[in-house]
Amino acid sequence: MSAPLIDPFARPISYLRVSVTDRCDFRCVYCMSENMTFLPKKELLTLEELDRLCSTFIRMGVEKLRITGGEPLVRRGILTFFRSMSRHLDSGALKELTLTTNGSQLGRFADDLFAAGVRRVNISLDTLDEDKFARVTRWGRLKQVLNGVDAAQRAGLRVKINTVALKGFNEDELPRITEWCAERDMDLTWIEVMPMGEDIDSTARIGQFWSLGDVRATYERAYTVTDLAERSGGPARYVRLEETGQKIGFITPLSHNFCESCNRVRLTCTGELYMCLGQEDVADLRAPLRETPDDDAPLEAAIRAAIARKPRGHDFDYSRQRPGGQVAGQMPRHMSHTGG
């Protein structure tokens, strides 16, 4: 073990999110434009390089690894990577290996993921209506994702559904989605839509910004809602619906209420490290990774230097609307770049 990673605000960095590809088999309207230009293959870290980077972070105290994208399960050979990472679960250094997926490939991969030590998976799903699903994902088919959810549960994976809250789009589906999750014993988390990507008007293209305060109020009209103290070091807050016993999460990335306990950094598929989802500052880890293939010391030094620059918080704020509807703090990069 190397000395643990602690940032300038005394926050231990124990959680690494890794985007293993910028590609995806869907084109969700709030995430990607219709005609995305993807990175040339040579820009990407190889799976071996990703392994070395993740293993270095684990040696420096990262205990939770979330694989994301783009769609992580469309990256060729990704299972080899999961299998290889499972050695850190076996050694006890890594407490959790998990992924966020659109679910489309889980029919193929769920059993193998479980065998590699994955126990939980987040599946993104915004609607249970076939036509609406096709509209919001542009290229997705609901049936394939529902098969993926089935496969995950059959394999023994605990499933959490992530739903982006979109006013006028899935507002009316709140009871149905909630009941569907209850019936299947799946957790549910609502995500507030974030202003990402210069060519994506994430609040107007489909549905509108639906604040999670309003989502909560909708629950309160139908259920007894109790706040839970549980924290994940991230932007999620949880409540319990007393009538069903369900735990519902709310991810409000635009609020600042989680930055003080932020324990995470994000690695892109090209080896850039983002110290904050809402800030542009980035550290290049690919150069030290490639320059000294047999010596991890420069890589460790680069990681420490990056963590020393982790900002206190981010600048998103819907309440500071600029003329023309631009949201203050809007990020020019796509969510698929950093994996959310």
Strand 120-124 relative to strand 96-101: parallel, antiparallel, unpaired?
Answer: parallel
- Least separation in angstroms between residue 130's CB and ligand SF4 is 16
202 touches, from ligand SF4, ligand SAM, none (C-beta below 5 to 8 Å by class): ligand SAM
H runs (alpha helix) in the chain: 47-59, 78-91, 106-115, 130-137, 142-155, 174-183, 212-222, 286-291, 297-307, 335-338
Please return the burial class of 273, using the count of CB atoms within 10 Å of its CB with bins 0-12, 13-18 and 19+.
buried
Name the residue nearer to ligand SF4 (CB basis): 124 or 170.
124
Q: Binding ligand SAM by CB under 6 A: which of 30, 133, 250, 258?
A: 30
What are the Cα distances from residue 235, in Å, to 48, 208, 230, 250, 314? 31, 21, 12, 8, 12
Contact indicator for 318, 327 with CB cutoff of 8 Å? yes
- Which range binds ligand SF4 by CB under 6 A, 23-31, 154-162, 191-199, 314-322? 23-31
Task: Tell me the three state secondary structure of residue 28.
Answer: coil
Decide: is 268 part of the binding site for ligand SF4 (CB under 6 A). no
Closest CA to 164 of 228, 258, 253: 253
- Least separation in angstroms between residue 261's CB and ligand SF4 is 25
Task: Tell me the three state secondary structure of residue 190.
Answer: strand
Task: Tell me the three state secondary structure of residue 241.
Answer: strand
Decide: is 331 part of the binding site for ligand SAM (CB under 6 A). no
Decide: is 193 part of the binding site for ligand SAM (CB under 6 A). yes
Distance between CA 74 and CA 24 in Å, rounded? 7
Q: Binding ligand SAM by CB under 6 A: which of 16, 17, 21, 69?
A: 69
Size of the site for ligand SF4 (CB under 6 A): 13
Decide: is 162 part of the binding site for ligand SAM (CB under 6 A). yes
- Least separation in angstroms between residue 57's CB and ligand SAM is 19
- Which range binds ligand SAM by CB under 6 A, 67-75, 111-119, 225-233, 308-316? 67-75
Contact indicator for 30, 164 with CB cutoff of 8 Å? yes
Ramachandran angles phi, psi of 29, nearest 5°: -65, -30
Element (H, E) at 306: helix 297-307
- Which range binds ligand SF4 by CB under 6 A, 6-14, 21-29, 208-216, 316-324? 21-29
Name the residue nearer to ligand SF4 (CB basis): 142 or 303.
142
Q: Binding ligand SF4 by CB under 6 A: which of 31, 165, 265, 276?
A: 31
Task: Tell me the three state secondary structure of residue 172.
Answer: helix
CA 51 vs. chain centroid, Å, equals 19
Decide: is 196 part of the binding site for ligand SAM (CB under 6 A). yes
Q: Binding ligand SAM by CB under 6 A: which of 55, 56, 105, 124?
A: 124
Decide: is 27 part of the binding site for ligand SF4 (CB under 6 A). yes
- Output the CA torsion 60→65→71→76 (10° steps): 70
Contacts with ligand SAM by CB under 6 A lie at 24, 30-31, 68-69, 71, 100-102, 124, 162, 164, 191, 193-194, 196, 202, 335-336, 339-340
**Which residues of the chain form contacts with ligand SF4 (CB under 6 A)?**
24, 26-28, 31-32, 69-71, 102, 124, 335-336
